[in-house]
Amino acid sequence: MDASHHATAKQPLLGMTLDELKQLARELGMPSFAAKQIAEWLYGRRAGTIDEMTNLSKANREKLKADYEVGLRPHADAQHSVDGTVKYLFPVGDKGKMVETVFIPDGDRATLCVSSQVGCKMNCLFCQTGKQGFEGNLSAADILNQICALPESDRLTNIVFMGQGEPMDNLEQVLKATQVLTAPWGMAWSPRRITVSTVGLRGKLKRFIEESDCHLAISLHSALPDQRRELMPAERAMSITEIVDLLRNYDFAHQRRLSFEYIVFAGVNDSEHHARQLVRLLGGLDCRVNLIRFHQIPGVDLHGADDATMLRMRDYLTQHGLFTTIRASRGQDIYAACGLLSTARKAKE
Catalytic residue among 124, 148, 214, 338: 338
Closest CA to 146 of 115, 118, 168, 174: 115
Query: Residue 312, class by beta-carbon neighbours within 10 Å (0-12 exposed, 13-18 middle, 19+ buried)?
Result: middle
Total length of the chain: 349
Counting DSSP H helices and E strands in the chain, the numbers are: 13, 14
CA dist list (Å): 218 to 112, 173, 263, 276: 18, 19, 12, 18
DSSP annotation of 233 reads G
Helices (H), the chain: 3-9, 18-27, 33-39, 58-67, 128-131, 140-148, 171-182, 204-211, 225-231, 240-247, 272-282, 307-319, 340-348
**E strand residue ranges, 10-132:** 11-12, 68-69, 77-80, 86-92, 97-106, 109-113, 117-119
**338 a catalytic residue:** yes
Amino acid letter for position 7: A
The SS3 assignment for 277 reads helix
d(CA 227, CA 86): 34
Catalytic residue among 69, 100, 235, 261: 100
Closest CA to 71 of 160, 151, 9: 9
**100 a catalytic residue:** yes
CB 331 within 8 A of CB 297: no
d(CA 241, CA 343): 33
Residues of 299-308 as b/e, b for ≥16 C-beta within 10 angstroms?
A: eeebebbeee
d(CA 29, CA 166): 39
Amino acid letter for position 48: G
Q: Which residues are catalytic?
A: 100, 338
